[in-house]
Amino acid sequence: MHAFLAIILTIITASTPLLLAALGELVAERSGVLNLGVEGMMVMGAVCGFGAGYLSGSVWVGVLAAIVAGMAMALLFGFLTLTLVTNQVATGLALTLLGLGLSGVIGEPFVGQPGVKLGNIHIPGLSDIPLVGPLIFGQDLLVYASLVLAAAVAWVLFTTRAGLIIRAVGDSHASAHALGYNVIAVRYACVLFGGACAGLAGGYLSLAYTPSWIENMTAGRGWIALALVVFASWRPARVVAGAYLFGTVMILGFYVQSLGLGIPSQFLSSLPYIVTVVALVVISGNKTLTRANTPAALGQPFVPDR
């Protein structure tokens, strides 16, 4: 039972960064921008979060630094793809390569250093209920924040005017422009939001999940988050489900390893990646689902004529 609880708790913390990053990318893609640089923004969030937390001693300074780092990377991406109208795929890749390289350089002095850790909350009474207590009332704040964020994104996107404008821009930027909406501004805002989330996700990795800095510690989670958005057909509720599904696969892999069944650890470590490919195939193969839900303007360049 204890082990079971431990596994569930780990699944939650493993899924949270995926959820955060995927939510941010979902909003960006809903506005029509494909940002493949999630991995780069995430790893920069991880290193800046860790470094700021280490240097200041405060985990929340670290969290803030992670968010800012993600947004700074996103701003660079936005400037290229929205103002200079560069190819979104190539620019996203460039962002990832830059992020991975830059984080390696920035992080060198921090390798092996002990960091600050985001603590779990404790509500007297509630958190002490056996089993359920720590599960529901004993997570760290960012876990709750990620779920609240998912609800907030859904609410904004589907019930407010702002969300309607975002979805309109992602459906047809030409029509949105003709109606007088500032397509570029809307997209900048969504891309920056995506960057903040990705940065926060990275910060979560280095401040809560495994409080430390290791080069390339995101290990492809940013790419998995991208696949998650497709898998969830751009709907926040499904992103939550998908993130927890992937988190489960990741953690179960570790668990099975610890059972010593003789299955090679590398195979178990490769499971999340294989499952990602399978999930992609399953969703993409369903043409009606994808065609109806994909933001029509996704990835397409927009230059307003004057």
Partner 1 sequence: MPGTSADRAGTCLLEASRIVKRFSGVTANDEVTLKVAAGEIHALLGENGAGKSTLVKIIYGALQPNAGELFWMGEPVTIASPAAARDLGIGMVFQHFSLFEALTVAENIALALPGRYDLAALSENIARVSKDYGLPLTPSAVVADLSVGERQRIEIVRCLLQEPRLLIMDEPTAVLTPQEADQLFITLRRLAGEGCAVLYISHRLEEVKSLCHNATILRHGKVVAEVDPTRETAASLARLMVGGDVHDVKATSPEHAGETLLALDNLSLAADGPFGVALKHISLDVHAGEVVAIAGVAGNGQGELFLALSGERTTSPGDAISMGGTPCASLRINARRALGAAFVPEERLGHGAAPGFTLSENVVLTRHSGKDGLAAGGFVDFARAAELNQRISRDFDVRKGKPDPEARALSGGNLQKFVVGRELDRQPKILIVNQPTWGVDAGAAALIRQALLDLARSGSAVLVISQDLDEIFEIADRIAVISRGELSAAEPARGLTTERIGLLMAGAHEKARQPVAEAV
Partner 2 sequence: MRLYLERRPEHSRTMAIASPFIAVGLTLVTGGIIFALLGFNPFSALYIYFLDPLTSLWSIEELLVKAGPLVLIGVGLAIGYSANVWNIGAEGQLVAGAVAGSLFPVLIPSWQDPTVLPVMLLMGVLGGMAWGAIPAFLKVRFGASEILSSLMLVYVAQLGLDWLVRGPWRDPHGFNFPKSVAFDGWQVLPTLSDSRVHLGIAFALIAAIVLAVVMARMLKGFEIRVIGSTPRAGAFAGFSRNRSIWFGFLVSGGLAGLAGISEVAGPIGHLQPSISPGYGFTAIIVAFLGRLNPLGVVAAGLMLALSYLGGEGAQVALGLSDKIARVFQGILLFYILACDTLILYRIRLAAFGWSGARQ
Residue 168 interacting partner from partner 1, partner 2, none (CB closer than 5 to 8 Å by kind): partner 1
Residue 157 interacting partner from partner 2, partner 1, none (CB closer than 5 to 8 Å by kind): none
Nearest approach, Cβ of 82 to partner 2 (angstroms)? 11
CA 87 to chain centre: 22
Nearest approach, Cβ of 61 to partner 2 (angstroms)? 23
Token code pair at residue 277: 């490919």
Nearest approach, Cβ of 19 to partner 2 (angstroms)? 18
Query: Taking CB under 8 A as the rule, does residue 93 contact partner 2?
Result: yes
Residue from the set 6, 57, 58, 89 that interacts with partner 2 by CB under 8 A: 89
Nearest approach, Cβ of 187 to partner 1 (angstroms)? 16
Closest CA to 196 of 146, 247, 144: 146
User: Toward partner 1, which CB reaches closer, 2 or 161?
Assistant: 161
Chain residues binding partner 1 by CB under 8 A are 160-161, 164-165, 167-168, 171-172, 174-176, 178-181, 287-288, 291-292, 295-296
Is the separation of the CB atoms in 200 and 20 below 8 Å?
yes
Query: Taking CB under 8 A as the rule, does residue 27 contact partner 2?
Result: no
Query: Taking CB under 8 A as the rule, does residue 46 contact partner 2?
Result: no
Nearest approach, Cβ of 288 to partner 1 (angstroms)? 6
Residue from the set 64, 80, 176, 243 that interacts with partner 2 by CB under 8 A: 80
The residue written with tokens 């401040």 in the block is: 207
Query: Taking CB under 8 A as the rule, does residue 306 contact partner 2?
Result: yes
d(CA 41, CA 63): 14
Output Rg (C-alpha) for the chain, integer angstroms: 19
Nearest approach, Cβ of 87 to partner 1 (angstroms)? 14
Residue from the set 130, 285, 288, 292 that interacts with partner 2 by CB under 8 A: 285
Give me the phi and psi of 120, to 5 degrees please.
Answer: -85, 150
d(CA 202, CA 63): 9
Site residues for partner 2, window 212-271 (CB under 8 A)? 219-220, 223, 226-227, 230, 264, 266-267, 269-270
Site residues for partner 2, window 108-167 (CB under 8 A)? 108
Nearest approach, Cβ of 157 to partner 2 (angstroms)? 23
d(CA 87, CA 58): 39
Strand partners, 120: 140
d(CA 231, CA 239): 8
d(CA 291, CA 118): 41
CA distances in angstroms from 39 to 158, 164, 221, 254, listed in the order given: 28, 28, 7, 22
